[in-house]
Amino acid sequence: MTKTPEIREFVVAENQDNLRLDNFLVQACGDVTRSRIHTDMESAQVLVDGKPRPKGFRLKPGQAVQYQPTILAEMSAEPQDIPLDIIYQDEHIAVVNKPVGMVVHPAVGHPDGTLVNGLLHHFRDLKEVGEDPLRPGIVHRLDRDTSGLLAVALTAEAHRHMADQLHEHSMGRTYIALNWGRWPEDKGTLTGDIGRHPRFRQKMAVVESGGRSATTHFEVVEDFGFVQLCRVELETGRTHQIRVHFAFKGHPIVGDSMYGEDKRARGIHNLDRRQADQMVRDTRRQLLHAAELRLIHPATGEEMTFTAPLPADMEHVLRGLRAED
């Protein structure tokens, strides 16, 4: 039976006056990529007041937008021979040091080449672990451009055990982050419910209602005046939690293209142009690294701690900052 594409209907709000059509749809459809929207526009699958319009068309309040996204073929996760930095493994669990730029599991826009594809090649029985066929063995995630440690369950029992640890906050995760500006105190706790951004659906935000509680602890370990290196402990594990909490408090992670607003941050934190330009040249992603992972082994009950050194790009930035002192 052929599946009929859904038709999504929207009305342009007053605060969306003069917004480009493609930007409007990216905001309105958090599950559809910009490139897919552009492709669908070329096939007249986007209408404004009943007429096809180009991606740069400027909208006016009250206009009706109809969009019929192309139905994508159902995705699957298949084994691929991808080199992985597996720092620990036994018959129950594995711990991987994920590099920058690697997506954890297949999704729209990233159907393969992910960590899961590599794991399925290394661990042939992994496909049966967990309930989601696109995320076998995965109990927690890292953003594509966040590097560092990630635990993988290799059995159904290990998966349940580690999922419980996450739920009970007994799995410890420590990150190293470089943020813009100076915190008023050397350590603190950040709170605020996190949910989908009310306007930009591809982003998360601290929200007043409809979010999930989130707690982030930080401690400044090195102060460079206009940026600080922090040790960050997650008490909860919401999507983009550290990035959202730090940005909400006015200290976004350096290099974070989604939440960082680097130009604004550089302006309000008294950077001279030479320092700011050098920071931008040295930064290709959010400078956030999952440096330490603590868990209870699901079979033995042993408390285990794993560490991963800072990757080369973060070390390079820090060497430059230290040379300025």
Would you list the DSSP string of 83-95? ---EEEE-SSEEE
| DSSP codes, 70-82 | PPPPPP-------
Return the pLDDT at 106.
87
Sheet holding 64-67, edge to edge: 8-11, 64-67, 46-48, 51-52
Which position among 143, 145, 256, 282 bears the catalytic label? Answer: 143
Which residue has 């934190």 as its token pair?
269
Single pTM value for the model = 0.76
Fold match, 8-67 / 77-168: no
Whether the pLDDT of residue 133 is over 90: the answer is no
Return the pLDDT at 40.
83
Whether the pLDDT of residue 229 is over 90: the answer is yes
Decide if 202 contacts 193 (C-beta within 8 A).
Answer: no
Extents of the domains making up the chain: 8-67, 77-168, 175-289+316-324
What is the architecture, at CATH level 2, of domain 175-289+316-324? 2-Layer Sandwich (3.30)
Structure confidence by residue, pLDDT tens digits, 149-186 = 999 999 999 999 999 999 898 999 999 999 988 999 99
The one-character DSSP state at 126 is G
Please state, rounded to an integer, the average pLDDT across all residues of the chain. Answer: 88
d(CA 75, CA 242): 30
Q: Residue 134: which residues within 8 A CB-CB, separation 6 or more?
A: 75, 76, 77, 105, 106, 107, 116
CATH 3.40.800.10 fits domain 8-67 = no
Structure confidence by residue, pLDDT tens digits, 39-63 = 788 777 899 999 888 888 999 999 9
Q: Is 143 noted as a catalytic residue in this protein? A: yes
d(CA 169, CA 269): 34
Pairing of β 303-307 and β 288-296: antiparallel
**Domain 77-168 - what CATH class?**
alpha beta
CA separation (Å) from 66 to 21, 47, 201?
11, 5, 18
Structure confidence by residue, pLDDT tens digits, 263-315 = 555 544 455 555 655 665 667 789 999 999 999 999 999 999 999 999 999 99
Altogether, the residues listed in the chain come to a count of 325
Structure confidence by residue, pLDDT tens digits, 242-272 = 999 999 999 999 988 889 765 555 544 455 5
d(CA 294, CA 303): 7
pLDDT band at residue 123 using 50, 70 and 90 as cut-offs: very high
